[in-house]
Structure 1
């Protein structure tokens, strides 16, 4: 795959994280009863970064949980398959909590839907919100993120490649063309 452009560099990711953290605080009038749930894999470091930023603003700790959804990446193939929800490390009561699902990219909406299904089995949250670093469009389900770092219109023969220091050794978001 050929890199077409770097969409976000380290500083741009930091700015988007700060903005989304502030939006989460503002929309929920603080962080009382708010928990962040990172969708594995790259939603987890993004959720941890949001938590760190929220904690620095609010001077209060916010819970970060991991939701493990194993799926066939429908942004890499034309043959779309349902994501498979596997066990998560969530041993947390989400009853009456405001859950902010966090992921790196939203594309078709199938991953977010699978995450919502997993949350339903863990209890009844007061509210569920969705935060993503990149919204690339092409939704197949009526799911819209509440918080978006950057909207990046793409074609179906392009891929958004999110790199986080914690996993990839660098912070950047690239758009790649499938050759």
Structure 2
């Protein structure tokens, strides 16, 4: 028998308590729901913003070299074609709009000069100036969709926070064959 003040005795007691706590945790099933009698926390329900009828319908994605799912070159799908956004006048406020439109809570930073590689196709937006409150990049001030004097060496990139908007669901309103491969529970969105 071990003496109650010895180190091995204390270690045995701690190990026993650890096993007991772990067994109780697994029995309660927290990973699969909340215990009976405790309400689950309310989730904010995301609703897609309503846009004025004359707003150009665009779709955004993040693309490029050596990147994570929440960062990359900003690409815009419009009029059946993917293109990019020029870094002229772009700011953290514009990055906020991009990140929210993609379902992230906020922007962390933005990068000029094609940090994520040069895009292809049209440069859909140039001299983008957002307040950060716009519901879509298409509502920010710019030269106008498709009006640009930029080259793809000026493609802008953003880094969004890892945190997603609670309840956000990607709603595809266009046939553009976007694949969202880097998100948990991702599916092909057509």
Given the two structures, how large is their TM-score scaled by the length of structure 2?
0.24
Which structure has the highest strand share of the two? 1
Largest Rg, 1 or 2: 2
Higher relative contact order by CA 8 Å / sep ≥ 6: 1 or 2?
A: 1
Which structure has the highest helix share of the two? 1
Given the two structures, how large is their TM-score scaled by the length of structure 1?
0.25
